[in-house]
Chain A
Amino acid sequence: MKKLFMLSAAAAMMMSVGAMAEDFKPAVLYDLGGKFDKSFNEAAYTGAQKFKEDTGIEYRDFEIQNDAQREQAMRNFAKRGMSPIVAIGFAQANAVEKVAKEFPDIQFAIVDMVVDLPNVRSIVFKEHEGSYIVGMLAAMASETGKVGFVGGMDIPLIRKFACGYKQGVMAANAQAEIFENMTGTTGAAWNDPVKGGELAKSQFDRGADIVYHAAGGTGIGVLQAAADAGKLGIGVDSNQNGLHPGSVLTSMLKRVDVAVYQAFEDAKNDIWTSGFEVLGLAEGGVDWALDDNNAPLISDDMKAAVEKASAGIISGEIVVHDYMSDQSCPF
């Protein structure tokens, strides 16, 4: 990800700012979870906010309340000549498709979904690759040989996280036992820290000593339960190592912030590209977090092993199974 930021920073320096600033009006449209969900949408907000701090350019954003507002808000942005319009979340796909056709001169971007139109940039992440890496770390750090996974809402995207994680765990320790729980089946599952904590506790009771969450705000409870029980948690999306220093093994980073920042930046610098953008380990779109908070937990062996695995995934030597490719998980 550093690479991405440096590239864009260099590009920014080459262009004189100011020149475009007046008629350049970027916009972000969050999903139902809302701007401050401590996770996915908030990562987008962080990226947009960073862009504002770096360039001084204001952006507009909107939090939808229901499905009908997706198209409405997008159109409102487009009518005012805002571009690029970055839509966060797979649920926005139909709205992006409709509105992008109506406004062919406006640049759109969508995160987590593919919309095949000449003025749309589709940004998807290889969450399974990042999850594989943290899965390996979990298996190597576990003393009991049992690890857990707590998902948010039971949808294919989260099963993709779970499947990559399982494969990673198995790669490091084929005998490992994995407990998998989803928090719920409604949107509330993204924001239920109490239930997240209970699920984590039940997994600890069954012998797990490390739990990975992909559950948005629910995960706060998972990490809290791990810290309370003296076990380890693994964060997701943003770097959550600092939430409970010493009790968070690592975090699987999904750089939605970088994607948003880059979309703004590219549009500003007139180097916008539409089409596919698949961000995996190789592109710095997913990664694992290592900082002062978790450095004591990661031994040199573990570090070497995951670096080797990362290189293997990037070179194609290791293929991490993508749940979305066949809607099933062989592990």
Chain B
Amino acid sequence: MSAGQLPRWVDYGLIPVLNLVAAFLVSGLVVILIGESPIEAVQILLWGSLGFGEGIGFTLFYATNFIFTGLAVAVAFHAGLFNIGGEGQAYIGGLGVAWACLLLDHYVPWWVTMPLAVAGAALMGAAWAFIPAWLQATRGSHVVITTIMFNFIAASLMVYLLVNVMSEPGSMQPETRTFEDGGRLPFLNDMMPWVDFGTAPVNFSLILAILACIAVWLIIWRTRLGYEIRSFGANASAAVYAGIDPVRTIIITMLISGALAGMMAINEIMGSQHRLLIEFVTGYGFVGIAVALMGRAHPVGIVLAAILFGMLYQGGAELSFEIPAITRDMIVVIQGLVILFAGALEHMFRPFLIQAFAVGRGAAAQAG
């Protein structure tokens, strides 16, 4: 092992744990500042997210959203692209889901509607990512700028559609009618009688999310396309020299990324809300960036990071419910600290650890 390298368990186990601990310590200081007990806060957070069936259900429900948006960001990462349009792609993905459900829910059972809804979500999400991708590939318009602009266009388009076209006549709410049973995914609670998720909306989408993880792993690490994507991300000019078509790679990567983001809508629209409503994405697309960073753009890491963020969402809700002094903005601060330490300051502890391990190894060598 050369100097500066760390054992894998340190890289993938110890460093993330240290980052998390640091984030929680700083959060604890903030909790102390507002005059509450941080120990109690952590207890409530853990109990609220993992302590009982319904809490676990909600944690997994949020995690499902984060897996999709996290995978979307990760796939783009591998090609060196930074897709921050997950928010808009998921929003538009909802349109595809809603069309499938509104068309079919009266006539067929959910498992007939589902593949079409998934296809609709993926197609719409991919379509929304296509224009930024095409602009990046052929005109050099930076994908960061265009995808974030497309988030706003998506919001405008959806408001227009929900207010003027798709809303129920006579209803004040900017949303479609509620889907019948044919447009609803079964809750895990109903599918698996031996678990008790209470009223938590965790549903069949979780299984879709796991399948998506496997598919992403296969595509990125086991196909020619994945090799092209990774080569392009590692060194674009070398990849072009090696005969990889940059336009094709950028566009296909972004289409996959957009499709994954769009599929988040399955969980929210078909799985939980059972109607298309305004602003249902509420930031899941952006949190996906943090999830992908924390999960090192690997499906396994993304699942773990998604569960962590699911815990923060669910535990955080319980926390602000139990301790009214800790408002939802405080929860955002805690989430922000986790992102800061786990994402941006990812390598903060690395030099110390390298030193510590070098010293340890040196001592061991001498003793031996």
Contact = CB atoms under 8 A, between A and B. Distances in A.
A75 B277 contact: no
A68 B58 contact: yes
B331 A72 contact: no
Interface in B258-300: 268, 272-273, 275, 277-280, 282-284
Interface in A12-50: 32, 34-35
Given A62-B320, A63-B328, A65-B328, A157 B279 contact: no
A63 B327 contact: yes
B199 interface: yes
Interface string B171-209: 011100010000000000000000000010100000000
B155 A185 contact: yes
A93 B172 CA distance: 11
B279 A186 contact: yes
A65 B313 contact: yes
Nearest to B279: A187
Interface stretch (A148-156, A167-175, A279-287, A311-319): A148-156
A32 B282 CA distance: 10
A91 B279 CA distance: 11
A62 B327 CA distance: 8
Residue in B178, B273, B277 with the greatest tally of chain A CB atoms within 10 Å = B273
Interface in B47-91: 58, 61-62
A67 B280 contact: yes
A26 to B, nearest CB: 14
A257 B345 CA distance: 45
Residue in A60, A61, A91 with the greatest tally of chain B CB atoms within 10 Å = A91
B57 to A, nearest CB: 10
B280 to A, nearest CB: 6
A113 interface: yes
B321 interface: yes
Interface residues of B, number: 39
A71 B272 CA distance: 11
What secondary structure prevails in chain A residues at the interface with B?
A: mixed
Contacts of A55: none
Nearest to A62: B321
A327 B173 contact: no
B156 interface: yes
A34 to B, nearest CB: 7
A34 B174 CA distance: 19
Interface string A58-86: 00111111111101110110000000000
B173 A65 contact: no
A68 B279 contact: no
A157 B201 CA distance: 29
Nearest to A91: B173
B317 A69 contact: yes
Interface string A72-112: 11011000000000000011011000000000000000001
A71 to B, nearest CB: 7
B320 A67 contact: no
B6 interface: no
B172 A67 contact: no
A229 interface: no
A324 interface: yes
B351 interface: no
Contact of B172 (A32, A64, A75, A156): A156
B115 interface: no
Contacts of A62: 320-321
Contacts of B275: 94
Contacts of A94: 178, 273, 275
B257 to A, nearest CB: 22
A154 to B, nearest CB: 6
A324 to B, nearest CB: 6
Contacts of B331: 65
A226 to B, nearest CB: 27
Nearest to A154: B159
B340 interface: no
Given A34-B328, A73-B317, A154 B282 contact: no
Nearest to B151: A186
A185 B283 contact: no
B122 to A, nearest CB: 22
A113 B58 contact: no
A182 to B, nearest CB: 10
20 contacts: A34-B328, A61-B324, A62-B321, A63-B320, A65-B313, A65-B317, A66-B313, A67-B272, A67-B273, A67-B277, A68-B58, A68-B201, A73-B321, A112-B172, A113-B173, A155-B159, A156-B167, A185-B155, A185-B159, A187-B279
Interface of A: 32, 34-35, 60-69, 71-73, 75-76, 90-91, 93-94, 112-113, 153-157, 185-187, 324, 327
Given A65-B313, A154-B163, A324-B170, 14 more contacts: A63-B328, A65-B316, A65-B317, A67-B272, A67-B273, A67-B280, A68-B201, A154-B159, A155-B163, A155-B174, A156-B167, A185-B159, A185-B160, A186-B155
Task: Enumerate the 9 nearest inter-chain pairs by beta-carbon distance, A residue then B residue, closest first.
Answer: A185-B159, A66-B282, A185-B156, A186-B155, A63-B328, A65-B328, A185-B155, A156-B172, A155-B174
